[in-house]
């Protein structure tokens, strides 16, 4: 058995038209998986799927646009994947929202509700839609892309961090429920990664220096540096790992 071989596996990755999600899709395809590219806008999804098919052969990737806030969209994502590929073996809940930065006292109900809906409840919805077939086959890997924000306090992105801590608990809880059926659920907690999502934290050189200097590796992460962790959590290499949060952060959480 090849430790990192995903041949014949089908992976659905939300928020995969760019950033970390795109890198995960590309690397999973490289390791043999068929991948489903999904984000809100059809155009970018089609582009990424086309790139993967051009590199690995037609039929290795399909695009199924979906808004994670819509239960109907998520069900269609699952249904279209099953229709195209027959099953889902790997689910990566990567898409997330953060419409507010500032102290908790300043967040309005709509913003807080949107963060919790998209980052926690929508993950719950999608996982529950995919789980039955995994439980029936007694095989499957669910990966939630959380954040080191879920492990720490932060005066700027408190509500986002609350949602990311909830994702870690979602993984722990489902791991306990589904472990007897050999369905594994884990989180990845990236540190600061150079994506459009985190642009406000790295495009200012002074702020970037401030947030990377305390880290042992002294730099921002790249999307592809998170993808390897996702391949590991999807592959036979991690067969004995469930309910865990894998921190990939340049060492920032262990530094003074």
Catalytic residues: 160
Beta strands in the chain (DSSP E): 10-14, 34-38, 61-63, 90-93, 140-145, 183-190, 245-248
CA distance 170 to 187: 9
Compute the C-alpha angle 78/73/199, nearest 5°: 105
Of 141, 118, 126, nearest to 24 by C-alpha is 141
- Neighbour count for residue 8 (Cβ, 10 Å): 10
Q: Which residue has the tokens 């998986």?
A: 33
């Amino acid at each position: 058995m090849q430790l990192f071989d995903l041949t014949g596996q089908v992976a659905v990755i939300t928020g995969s038209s760019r950033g970390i999600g795109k890198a995960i899709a590309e690397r999973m395809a490289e390791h043999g998986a068929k991948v489903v590219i999904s984000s809100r806008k059809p155009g970018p999804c089609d582009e990424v799927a086309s790139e993967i098919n051009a590199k690995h052969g037609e039929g290795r990737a399909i695009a199924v646009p979906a808004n994670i806030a819509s239960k109907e969209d998520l069900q269609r994502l699952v249904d279209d994947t099953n229709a195209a590929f027959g099953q889902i073996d790997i689910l990566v809940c990567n898409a997330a929202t953060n419409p507010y930065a500032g102290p908790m006292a300043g967040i309005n109900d709509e913003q807080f509700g949107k963060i919790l809906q998209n980052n926690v409840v929508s993950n719950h919805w999608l996982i529950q839609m995919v789980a039955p077939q995994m439980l029936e086959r007694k095989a499957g890997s669910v990966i939630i892309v959380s954040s080191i924000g879920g492990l720490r306090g932060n005066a700027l992105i408190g509500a986002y961090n609350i949602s990311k801590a909830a994702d870690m608990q979602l993984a722990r809880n489902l791991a306990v429920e589904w472990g007897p059926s050999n369905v594994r659920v884990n989180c990845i907690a990236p540190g600061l990664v150079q994506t459009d999502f985190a642009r406000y934290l790295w495009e200012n050189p002074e702020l970037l220096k401030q947030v990377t200097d305390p880290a042992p590796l002294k730099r921002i992460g790249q999307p592809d540096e998170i993808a390897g962790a996702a391949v590991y959590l999807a592959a036979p290499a991690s067969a004995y790992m469930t309910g865990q949060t894998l921190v990939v952060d340049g060492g920032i959480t262990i530094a003074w």
